[in-house]
Amino acid sequence: MKITYREALNLSLKDCLNLHPNSFLIGEDVGAYGGTYAVSKNLLKEFGSDKIIDAPLSEVGFTGLGIGAAMGGMKPIVEIMTINFALLAFDQIINTAAIVNFMSGGQIHLPLIIRMTSGGGRQLGAQHSNSFEGWLAHIPGLKILAPATVEDARYMLIYAMNETSPVIIIEHALLFNISEECPDVLQEFNPFHAQLKNVGKDLTLITYGGMLPRCMQACAEMKKKGFEIEVIDLRCLRPLDNKTIFSSVKKNHRVLIVDEGWRSGSLAAEISSRITENCFYDLDAPVYRLCRKEFPIPYPRHLEEAIIPRFEDIVIKLEEILK
Amino acid sequence: MDTATKIKLLKNMQRVRTLEELCAELYTKEKIRGFLHLYIGEEAVATGVISQLLPNDNVLGTYREHGHALLKGVSAKKIFSEMFGKIDGCSKGRGGSMHLYSVTDRFFGGSGIVAAGIPQALGLAFAAKKLKESRRTVCFFGEGAMAEGAFHESMNMASLWNVPILFCCENNFYAMGTALSRSQSQIDLTSKARSYLIEAEKVDGMNVYEVFDKTKFALDYIEKEQRPFFLEFQTYRFRAHSMFDPELYREKEEVEKWKTRDPIELAKKEITKSFTDNENLLFIKEWEEIQHGIMLEMSEAINFAENAKVENFSDLSLEVL
């Protein structure tokens, strides 16, 4: 059956709240409003205000509360409206959530989920369009998942709930309306492994999150031109699935990384560096990157579009590399 | 309060004082490194509060938390080993002075980020209420933390959601080197709590018996009313902020003036105020024995820490990605 990314997240939350008696969802407007992106629509009615908690606009406070509740034996799901606002909670996420297990000598386990929306493309201007997931992927002690498909939106959270360390789930603002087939039951599912979304022999195209649909479209376009592009959906931004990346690169010898974050110090830079360190003699060309151009996001559509990698930009870059 | 309880509190203060004095000594010998924040002068606060808690109760402290950990049940052996960076430390030696953790004692740090522990303590209290556990949660922070957003966000949520938590502000009048009147527009700290409709009271933080009584009232209140309570303990740090602090920001006379209200001396005076000469002599002897016992506890702990092993680097990879 086809469902949307939004519906998949909603079903996933329902499953988690039903499966784990000590779980709760907390965040801004998750209850009465139904979630800024309507992900938690109707959950307040179904689960009550004990499990669906509308928080005041206090990102540090309710993220810290989630950490404390996890220390105290609960399984909190913290929703931060967008990754832009998550900056206010970075102290809690980085200075405690990521490190407290290590710093306490392994005593404290934090079965904590933090969900947030990331990415641009909706003319929301410079403060609502950032992609900071690469920063979070810098931090040891965090696991970062980025569902780019309906199937991942449906099942990643459920698997993440079994972890005993913090997992951050990055949902993309442009994916909420995509509609795809989603199996009712999964035979095999590991949210921490990358997936080949298309098998090809001419080039390895590495991406994640909101850039995946554009990369798939570019891949189809390149097929018409006679090129077979192998597309890797990273799915998990930390820890990175080196094995899948390296084996594809070693087979295809050419790489393009498409990352919605800014180029300098980006996740793409990290992946590029790992490829160079591990697959240098298998490469027939430099490792190329296509990233967000280094401007704040402007409001006008044409300017925003010129900054975040488009399908057309990906195709042009692929043609350049394969020329 | 009976004399036995009064003496127990005095003894606990002295345990903290001795631990801290030995820390200072071990720091100059370079056995302890990094930051070291001593609690000397403020002992009545942690003692009066934590001495009446149960093992099941949650405590969350600041970076000046050695005494809080000791009083909550973390052994001096584990505390010294931690500060020596040894594997037998309460955090395996990884945390150091500012990051003492002991989940079995329900002691949750030890945070080096001012005010970061407040929402976490709120979460612990929130969880205990949701899970219907019979434990109380006590959160310590300095008055400096009250300028942080995390404090205000937590007060708001604690009140809004009826979270039974005891907020303990250790007001030692300096946020590192910045005096209260130079960092806060409203220096009546209890009024900040009241503005969130949280019951609040000022306490003489140099008088351990007043601390004990006011805390007892507050703990009963949070249990009965299932609401937060805020206590401001006015106290003073006799030593520098940390071992690197030349104390340029306060006058020696001010420090000396506060030292005339040394919480340990005040407690002794309170105990002996109606003693006969004979009772006084007996007390002096008992006090000597108590001090001797404490010295024994601490020197055994230091010996233990000296001989403890360090963690192998190769074991680290087991726990972090």
- The per-residue pLDDT for range A34-67, each reduced to its tens digit, is 999 999 999 999 999 999 999 999 999 999 999 9
- Which residues of A are known catalytic residues? 59, 128
B101 in reach of chain A (CB within 8 A): yes
The whole-number pLDDT of residue A119 equals 97
Same domain? A28 vs A136: yes
Same domain? A177 vs A215: no
- Mean pLDDT of the residues in chain B: 96
Distance (Å, rounded) from C-alpha B226 to C-alpha B162? 6
Q: What residues of chain B, 172 to 231, have a C-beta less than 8 Å from chain A?
A: none
Same domain? A142 vs A210: no
A107 in reach of chain B (CB within 8 A): yes
Same domain? A234 vs A293: yes
Same domain? A218 vs A99: no
Contact A116, A171 (CB under 8 A): yes
Q: What is the arithmetic mean of pLDDT over B71-88?
A: 98
Same domain? A171 vs A206: no
A169 falls within a domain: yes
- Which one has a higher pLDDT value, A214 or B110? A214
Last residue within a domain, chosen from A181, A205, A237: A181
Closest partner CB to B116 (pick from A56, A58, A91)? A91
Distance (Å, rounded) from C-alpha B319 to C-alpha A105? 9
The whole-number pLDDT of residue B308 equals 97
Contact B87, B93 (CB under 8 A): yes
The whole-number pLDDT of residue A187 equals 80
DSSP label at A54? E
What is the token pair recorded at B18?
Answer: 């001795």
Residue tagged 């160079």 (tokens): A276
The full set of domains in chain B, from first to last, is 3-315 (3.40.50.970)
Distance (Å, rounded) from C-alpha B82 to C-alpha B92? 7
A188 falls within a domain: no
A167 in reach of chain B (CB within 8 A): no
Tally Cβ neighbours within 10 Å of residue B282: 12
Work out how many domains chain A is built from and give that number. 2
A159 falls within a domain: yes
Contact A182, A147 (CB under 8 A): no
Distance (Å, rounded) from C-alpha A181 to C-alpha B234? 64
Distance (Å, rounded) from C-alpha A37 to C-alpha A116? 11
Same domain? A278 vs A207: yes
Could you report the average pLDDT of every consecutive run of 10 residues in chain A (323 residues)? 97 98 98 96 97 98 98 98 97 98 95 98 96 96 98 97 97 97 88 97 98 98 98 98 98 98 97 98 98 97 97 98 95
Q: What range does the domain containing A152 cover? A: 2-181
A91/B113 Cβ within 8 A: yes
The whole-number pLDDT of residue B78 equals 98
CATH number at residue A301: 3.40.50.920
Mutate to test the interface with B, among A104, A110, A138, A168 (most CBs of B within 10 A): A104
Using a CB-CB cut-off of 8 Å, the residues of chain B touching A65 are 119-120, 122-123, 126, 154, 157
Same domain? A306 vs A218: yes
Tally Cβ neighbours within 10 Å of residue B218: 24
A217 falls within a domain: yes
CATH number at residue A30: 3.40.50.970
The whole-number pLDDT of residue B320 equals 53
Same domain? A67 vs A150: yes
Closest partner CB to A74 (pick from B108, B122, B131)? B131
DSSP label at B273? T
A187 falls within a domain: no
A124 falls within a domain: yes
Confidence at B214, pLDDT banded by 50, 70, 90: very high
Contacts of A33 (CB under 8 A, 6+ apart): A54
Q: What is the arithmetic mean of pLDDT over B194-218?
A: 98
The whole-number pLDDT of residue B317 equals 67
Confidence at B319, pLDDT banded by 50, 70, 90: low
Tally Cβ neighbours within 10 Å of residue B321: 13
Using a CB-CB cut-off of 8 Å, the residues of chain A touching B58 are 72
Same domain? A17 vs A47: yes
Distance (Å, rounded) from C-alpha B90 to C-alpha A116? 34
The pLDDT of residue B61 is above 90: yes
Closest partner CB to B157 (pick from A58, A107, A140)? A58
**What is the residue type of A120?**
G
How many alpha carbons lie under 13 Å from residue B285 in its C-beta half-sphere? 6
Confidence at B314, pLDDT banded by 50, 70, 90: confident
Contact B169, B215 (CB under 8 A): no
The whole-number pLDDT of residue B318 equals 56
Contact A260, A309 (CB under 8 A): yes
The pLDDT of residue B321 is above 90: no
Last residue within a domain, chosen from A157, A181, A205: A181
Mutate to test the interface with A, among B113, B134, B153, B319 (most CBs of A within 10 A): B153
Same domain? A99 vs A149: yes
Percent of chain B with pLDDT over 90: 95
Confidence at B243, pLDDT banded by 50, 70, 90: confident
Last residue within a domain, chosen from A118, A147, A181: A181
A286 falls within a domain: yes
A186 falls within a domain: no
A140 in reach of chain B (CB within 8 A): yes
Q: What is the arithmetic mean of pLDDT over B209-238?
A: 98
Contact B46, B95 (CB under 8 A): no
What is the token pair recorded at A20?
Answer: 């784990």
Same domain? A133 vs A20: yes
A140/B116 Cβ within 8 A: no
- What pLDDT digit, counting tens, does each position of A260-280 carry? 999 999 999 999 999 999 999
